[in-house]
Amino acid sequence: MRKVHLCLLSIFLLVAMGCASLPSHYVGINPQSSDEAIAYYTSGLTLASQGQHRDAIGQFRKAIAADPNFAEAYLGLSKSYYATNNYDFAIFYNIKHYETEANRDYTYNVRLDVD
């Protein structure tokens, strides 16, 4: 079981290192997200950049509550959980980010094909 956790953690770290910079994180915000969700998300990013990850987790959770399809908020939540050594939640929300992102891209592409 320990090897499985180490393998999952290694995969997470590789993915997280590829997504590490905050500015590029902000650029990819879904324009369809509500202003409320974006405000909570931005607040979470600010708190996370100041090392206040426990407070950032609350803000990212509020962003997700305001917009459950806000993929970037799941990634921010994953990074803050990772920073607080809560690896199970970090992996869970990292996977949730990719699922939400893939669903959003698929939905966007289907909408383009309809026109």
CB 42 within 8 A of CB 22: no
Residue pLDDT, tens place only, 8-37: 666 665 555 554 434 334 435 555 678 899
Number of domains in the chain: 1
CATH code for the domain in which residue 84 is found: 1.25.40.10
Q: Give a yes or no: residue 91 inside a domain.
A: yes
For residue 97, the enclosing domain spans 33-114
Q: Using one digit for the tens of pLDDT, what is the confidence trace for 82-112?
A: 999 999 999 999 999 988 887 765 554 444 5
pTM for this prediction: 0.66
**Dihedral angle sign, alpha carbons of residues 41, 46, 51, 55:** negative
> Is 71 inside any structural domain?
yes
